Amino acid sequence: MESHHIAIDLGAGSGRIIAGTRQGNEIRLTETARFTTELEQRNGFTCWNYAGLLEKLIDGLRITCDKLGKVPESISCDSWAQDFGLLDSGGALLSLPVYYRDRRTAGIPQHIAAIVPEKELRQRIGRSAVSDISTLAQLKFMAEYRREQLEQAAALLHMADLIHYELCGRAVSNWALASASQLMNVQTGSWDCGLLDKLDIPHGFLGKIASGKLVGYVNDPRFSRKLQGVPVISGIGHDTAAAFRAVDPGPETFFLSLGTWAMLGIRVNSFEQLPDEAIVMGVYPGVWTAFYGLPGMWIQQQCVQEWEKAGTFPGYAAFDAAVEASACNGIFDPLSPELFNPADMPGIIRELCAGNGSGVPVSIGDYGKVINRSLAECYGKAAARHNRKITNLTVTGGGLNNTPLLRELKTRFSLQIGPGEGTALGNIKAQIAALS
Residues 203, 265 share a domain: no
Residue 435 lies in a domain: no
Residues 166, 197 share a domain: yes
Spatial distance between the Cα atoms of 296 and 293, rounded to a whole number of angstroms: 9
Residue 101 lies in a domain: yes
Domain end: 191, 214, 237, which one?
237
Structural domain including 306 reads 248-421
Residue 412 lies in a domain: yes
Contact 186, 290 (CB under 8 A): no
Q: For residue range 165-224, what is the model confidence (pLDDT) as tens digits?
A: 999 999 999 999 999 999 999 999 999 999 999 999 999 999 999 999 999 999 999 999
Output the domain CATH number for residue 274: 3.30.420.40
95 pLDDT tier (thresholds 50, 70, 90): confident
Contact 322, 364 (CB under 8 A): yes
What is the rounded average pLDDT of the residues 306-326?
Answer: 97
Looking at the predicted structure, is the pLDDT value of residue 321 above 80?
Answer: yes
Residues 230, 256 share a domain: no
Spatial distance between the Cα atoms of 362 and 165, rounded to a whole number of angstroms: 49
Residue 243 lies in a domain: no
Domain end: 210, 237, 264, which one?
237
CA 102 to chain centre: 16
Residues 288, 341 share a domain: yes
Residues 254, 232 share a domain: no
Domain end: 202, 237, 272, which one?
237
Residue 145 lies in a domain: yes
- What contacts 400, CB < 8 A, 6 or more positions away? 258, 406, 417, 418, 420
Looking at the predicted structure, is the pLDDT value of residue 405 above 90?
Answer: yes
Residues 386, 267 share a domain: yes
Residues 95, 127 share a domain: yes
Q: How many domains does the chain have?
A: 2
What is the rounded average pLDDT of the residues 388-407?
Answer: 95
Residue 434 lies in a domain: no
Q: For residue range 251-293, what is the model confidence (pLDDT) as tens digits?
A: 999 999 998 889 999 999 888 778 888 888 899 998 999 999 8
Can you give the pTM of this predicted structure? 0.85
Residues 205, 232 share a domain: yes
Residues 139, 170 share a domain: yes
**Based on the number of CB atoms within 10 Å of its own CB, is 23 exposed (0-12), middle (13-18) or buried (19 or more)?**
exposed
Q: What is the pLDDT of residue 285?
A: 92
Residue 205 lies in a domain: yes
Residues 219, 331 share a domain: no
What is the rounded average pLDDT of the residues 118-147?
Answer: 93
Q: What is the pLDDT of residue 120?
A: 94
Residue 432 lies in a domain: no
Residues 252, 220 share a domain: no
What is the rounded average pLDDT of the residues 329-336?
Answer: 97
- From 322, 290, 289, 276, select the one nearest 303 (Cα to Cα): 322
Residues 73, 209 share a domain: yes
